[in-house]
Amino acid sequence: MPDQEVEAIPSVVELNVGGVFYTTALTTLTRDTDSHLSAIFSEKPTLAKDAKGKYFLDRDGVLFRYVLDFLRNEALVLPEGFRERERLRQEANFYGLPGLVKAIQEHEDSSKLKAVTTKRGYITVGYRGSFAFGRDGLADVKFRKLSRILVCGRVALLRDVFGETLNESRDPDHGVTDRYTSRFFLKHSFIEQAFDMLQEQGFKLASSCGSGTAGGSAEQLKPGVDSEENRWNHYNEFVFERT
């Protein structure tokens, strides 16, 4: 039997990358002629197609947009607060794009320098907590309980430091960055994680304070609140600065 005729790749390529659809020019995909991505679409195509006939790549579909942007513009532009550089670097290595790998490193170096030299300021971290005590004869066992970690300061600075871990749902002025707020909190309850993120961004502890909030209170407790735990309620604040 004669060899089955191989279908030529069209000049406009429809892609399904990890479930995300793209339409781009074949010349864009093959712009870096030495790359693995170019080889995929230059040789006889062996890529599978999805049910709609789109070429399928089993890679990160969201990050592929930055791969395409780099090939189209020969420059890497990432959104403010982008926190997936390592994953994007992994995609760049897979596609064999050393220019993109270099651009990612340059963006990372630039971001670190910008954070240290231009984004000076203060961030206040506060939390309300208590201790959960053991039961059934284990009253001396204590476990720290944090209900919520609050963060206050300049909005742009908070977003830069805490990224996707920042919960802005209680803030009424979404989208405005050139202002200050005391209505943000974190999506996790690990105070050390917040400290680590601040340290990675060049912040240092400037001051702290703490106080009890309900010790010895005779007020009637809310349903489900343990009286012993209520005695150990406390509130702490930490002020961090980057100069």
**CATH for 77:** 3.30.710.10
* pLDDT for 237 beyond 60: yes
Q: Is residue 180 part of a domain?
A: yes
Whether residue 230 is contained in a domain is answered as yes
- For position 92, what pLDDT does the model report? 96
Phi/psi-derived region of residue 118, left when phi > 0, alpha when psi is between -120 and 50, beta in every other case:
alpha
Label residue 117 exposed, middle or buried (CB < 10 Å: 0-12, 13-18, 19+). Answer: exposed
Task: Based on the fold, state whether residues 46 and 135 are members of the same structural domain.
Answer: no
**Do 110 and 147 form a contact (C-beta atoms < 8 A)?**
no
Per-residue pLDDT averaged across 63-89, rounded?
A: 91
Q: Is 7 contained in some domain?
A: no
User: pTM higher than 0.75 for the full model?
Assistant: no
Torsion 66-70-72-77 (CA) sign: positive
Same domain (yes/no): 112, 128: no
pLDDT in tens, 81-131: 788 999 999 999 999 999 999 999 988 887 766 655 557 899 999 998 887
| Higher pLDDT pick, 133 / 193 | 193
133 and 151 share a domain? yes
Domain boundary among 116, 132, 155: 116
pLDDT band with cut points at 50, 70 and 90 for residue 1: very low
Decide if 5 is inside a domain. no
Same domain, 111 and 129: no
Amino acid symbol at 60: D
> Could you say which of 116, 145, 174 is where a domain stops?
116
103 and 141 share one domain: no
pLDDT of residue 136: 55
What tens digit of pLDDT does each residue of 4-38 get?
455 678 899 999 999 999 999 999 999 999 999 99
Residue-number span of the structural domain to which 219 is assigned: 121-242
Structure tokens given for 134: 């053991």
Same domain for 234 and 131:
yes
DSSP conformational letter for 179: S
Domain end: 74, 92, 116, which one? 116
Domain count, the chain: 2
User: Same structural domain for residues 187 and 210?
Assistant: yes
The whole-number average pLDDT for the span 177-188 is 87
Q: If you average pLDDT over residues 53-64, what whole number do you get? A: 94
Residues 89 and 125 in one domain: no
Residue 145 lies in a domain: yes
Nearest-5° angle of CA 185, CA 143, CA 150? 10
pLDDT at residue 179, as a whole number: 86
Determine how β-strand 234-242 pairs with β-strand 121-133.
Answer: antiparallel
* pLDDT tops 60 at residue 182: yes
Q: Quick: pLDDT tens for 200-230.
A: 988 999 999 998 765 555 556 566 556 666 7
